[in-house]
Amino acid sequence: MLARGVISATLRSAFQSPTSKYSISDGDLESRGFLFRRTISGLNLDHLNSVFVAVGFPRRDPEKIKLALEHTDSLLWVEYSKTQKPVAFARATGDGVFNAIIWDVVVDPSFQGIGLGKAVMERLMEDLLQRGICNIALYSEPRVLGFYRPLGFVADPDGIRGMVYSRKQRKKK
């Protein structure tokens, strides 16, 4: 994921009433073979890596992915029951109290456009908000801003800009 800007979620109300606010219910998705998973148990990291690569993320060392996921507070993935493979994924790291950052929001290209990305994001947000974590940010590529906005994310809230460390910038000094 390229860091082009930070956007954060400000609309707590959008997620206050758990299941009724979901665009697709767990039952609906289950009947179509999509099962929500909230731990890494049963998650094949090579298959997850393949989904990352299929959407254009760089292939990463599975051992490093495993470590990163072990240090991740909240994660959510969707298993497709026919293949038992992950087809959608998102995770959030943070301090467990005030702040969280969402990473690696992906849907397998063969399963995009049927509501899985939104379903995963809605549930991840709900999990965080239920735990009282309200300061939620993510990095968004410009072409995906329109996906995050209806989920309650705004770019540069109150003029606040995100900054990321750049080795190139540092070398210039």
Interface residues toward ligand COA, by CB under 6 A: 1, 55, 105-107, 112-118, 140-141, 143-144, 146-147
Alpha-carbon radius of gyration of the chain: 16
Smallest distance, Å, CB 101 to ligand COA?
A: 12
Which listed residue (22, 80, 148, 165) is catalytic? 148
> Which residue of this chain has its Cβ atom nearest to ligand COA in the complex?
117
* Residue pointed to by tokens 């959030």: 92
The H or E element containing residue 157 is none
Do residues 151 and 125 make contact, with C-beta atoms less than 8 angstroms apart?
yes
Q: Cβ 75 to ligand COA, closest distance in Å? A: 15
Encoding tokens for residue 161? 């800009």
Minimum gap (Å) between residue 171 Cβ and ligand COA: 26
Task: Decide if 80 is catalytic.
Answer: no
Helix extents (H) in 13-115: 26-31, 45-54, 62-70
Enumerate helices (H) and strands (E) in the chain, giving the number of each.
6, 7
Catalytic residues: 148
